[in-house]
Amino acid sequence: MFFILSTILKIFIQPVIQPFLLLLAALLCRLFKNRRWARMFTIVAVILPLLYGFIPLSHIPLQFLENRFDVPILEGRPLDGIIILGGHTGNGEISEGRGQPQLSAAAERFTTALHLHRQFPDLPILFSGFSGELMPKGWSETQTIKRLLDELGMAESPNILFESTSRNTYENALYSETVLSPQPGSFWVLVTSASHMPRAVGSFRNAGWGGVIPYPVDYQTLPSGFPYIWNLPRGLHTMTIVFHEYAGLFAYWLSGKTDAFIPK
């Protein structure tokens, strides 16, 4: 139920949807002869997307999440394995229809997995995730990754494992535990997008993973400052991530899936 509700909510917090919702509210106010509120909703519907194009407004909250964890130095540290969270494969229906595995904008999760596997070939590496779609079609994330690994000549590696059930971040933490059976005092490298890392760390800690080492990738912001002042497409893209992650953090905190609103 949590997964279904969160997926539906995700539709309504999309920045490109918000102006239409405001215009719908303006229309309803107009029908009920409340012209003052109708005018206000219409003005906000026009101004809001323009404000999102102001890069500092969209950049700062995302930059805050991405700067929450530093990329760790792994050489010389005791490590027991690596976990790669899903969300980096493309549309499963297109992958199946075209017969080619697709990667999404978060492809750095997969390329980092290859890098870490080459750096630590003796460590188990787990790809966790089935699909984040409400009604998944085509190849699952596991099928897509296996096809990619097969094309790279890595499909037969005994240290590459799969958790192919989870639909969201908290399920990643729960179901990965059944595959890896982490012991007290063990250390696991956790790879996901930098903006997603606070929610991922909170979920894994809450699920009992004590020795999680965050390894953020897929950065969307500079470590400080701004690349430009106004860019509407970039601003809308950034705000899409901002709304998704902060809403997710709030929902996970309220439902007890993390013990802090923004884990650190």
Pair (132, 213) in one structural domain: yes
DSSP assignment letter at 72: P
Let me know if residue 41 belongs to a domain: yes
pLDDT reported for residue 3:
65
Pair (86, 147) in one structural domain: yes
pLDDT reported for residue 1:
65
Look-up of token digits 């639909």: 167
pTM: 0.91
The answer to whether the beta carbons of residues 197 and 169 sit under 8 Å apart is no
User: The tokens of 256 are what?
Assistant: 């007890």
Pair (53, 80) in one structural domain: no
Pair (115, 168) in one structural domain: yes
Pair (47, 103) in one structural domain: no
Measured CA to CA, the distance from residue 90 to residue 94 in angstroms comes to: 8
Pair (146, 191) in one structural domain: yes
The identity of residue 172, as a single letter, is: N
Measured CA to CA, the distance from residue 131 to residue 92 in angstroms comes to: 9
Let me know if residue 226 belongs to a domain: no
Let me know if residue 225 belongs to a domain: no
- Which H helix or E strand runs over 125? strand 125-128
Q: How many domains does the chain have?
A: 2
pLDDT reported for residue 226:
87
Let me know if residue 12 belongs to a domain: yes
Pair (50, 91) in one structural domain: no
Q: Is the dihedral of CA 56, 10, 208, 124 positive or negative?
A: negative
Pair (34, 61) in one structural domain: yes
What CA dihedral angle connects 83, 59, 3 and 137, to 10 degrees? -80
pLDDT along the chain (264 residues), means of 10: 71 87 93 91 92 91 97 94 95 94 95 96 94 83 95 87 94 94 93 97 93 96 90 93 95 92 90
pLDDT reported for residue 12:
77
Let me know if residue 147 belongs to a domain: yes
DSSP assignment letter at 89: B
pLDDT reported for residue 222:
94
The identity of residue 131, as a single letter, is: S
In 3-state terms, what secondary structure has residue 94?
A: helix
Pair (140, 84) in one structural domain: yes
Domain span including residue 115:
74-218
Percent of the chain past pLDDT 90, that is, above it, reads 78
Pair (42, 104) in one structural domain: no
- Domain with residue 181: its CATH number is 3.40.50.620
